[in-house]
């Protein structure tokens, strides 16, 4: 749980500001088992950086010719969304939501953790200050 510093009453623009101290890096162990993602999406946060991880099917643009009665092999990947809080995914403007894709595998989950930490560290101001109107 992030440690909240008591908010100032308002800043010069009339916005309430809260500084969120969330220095713990995202790790693979913070995510659920691979099987979970076959049915549901996972959401989490680090500081004010929210994220959503879901599995999606990769659409094959050029389907192979298969023997009659054979289904094409279904391939999946992780679809990662990340955005500045405090709002939930469905309540955040689309222009604020960024995306990335990873292999649907244990290695993919490790790469997601590393990716989120890199994005967080490279833009600390965005992820550590939450403004609420």
Q: What would the DSSP string read from start to end of 103-133?
A: ESSHHHHHHHHHHHHHHHHHTHHHHHEEEE-
Q: Report percent pLDDT > 70 for the chain.
A: 75
Per-residue confidence (pLDDT) for residue 125, from 0 to 100:
83
The verdict on residue 30 lying in a domain is: yes
Residue scoring higher pLDDT (23 or 1): 23
- Provide the domain count of the chain: 1
**10 three-state secondary structure:** coil
pTM of the predicted model as reported, rounded to 2 decimal places: 0.75
The verdict on residue 29 lying in a domain is: yes
Per-residue confidence (pLDDT) for residue 7, from 0 to 100:
45
| Angle value at C-alpha 118, between 117 and 124, nearest 5 degrees | 85
The verdict on residue 94 lying in a domain is: yes
Average pLDDT, the chain: 82
The verdict on residue 37 lying in a domain is: yes
Whether 105 has a pLDDT exceeding 70, the answer reads yes
- Parallel, antiparallel, or unpaired: how do β-strands 42-46 and 49-57 relate? antiparallel
The verdict on residue 121 lying in a domain is: yes
Domain span at residue 96 reads 22-58+73-128
Structure tokens at 38: 């076959």
Per-residue confidence (pLDDT) for residue 69, from 0 to 100:
73
* Least confident interval from 30-39, 62-71, 107-116: 62-71
The verdict on residue 13 lying in a domain is: no
The verdict on residue 26 lying in a domain is: yes
Residue scoring higher pLDDT (38 or 85): 38
Task: Say how far apart CA 3 and CA 131 lie, in whole Å.
Answer: 16
Please state the rounded mean pLDDT for residues 5-27: 57
Kind plus residue range of the DSSP H or E element containing 124? helix 124-128
Q: pLDDT of 45-74, one tens digit each?
A: 998 899 999 999 998 766 667 777 777 778
Whether 122 has a pLDDT exceeding 90, the answer reads yes
The verdict on residue 99 lying in a domain is: yes
């Amino acid at each position: 749980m992030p440690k909240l510093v008591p908010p100032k009453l308002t800043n010069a623009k009339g916005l309430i500001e809260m500084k969120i101290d969330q220095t713990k890096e995202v790790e693979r162990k913070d995510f659920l088992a691979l099987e979970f993602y076959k049915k549901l999406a996972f959401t989490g946060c680090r500081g004010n950086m929210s994220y959503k991880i879901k599995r999606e099917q990769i659409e094959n643009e050029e389907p192979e010719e298969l023997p009659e009665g054979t289904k094409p092999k279904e391939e999946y990947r992780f679809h990662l969304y990340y955005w500045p809080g405090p709002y939930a995914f469905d309540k955040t403007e689309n222009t604020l939501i960024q995306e990335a894709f990873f292999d649907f595998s244990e290695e993919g989950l490790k790469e997601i953790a590393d990716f989120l930490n890199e994005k967080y560290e490279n833009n600390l101001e965005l992820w550590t200050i939450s403004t609420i109107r």
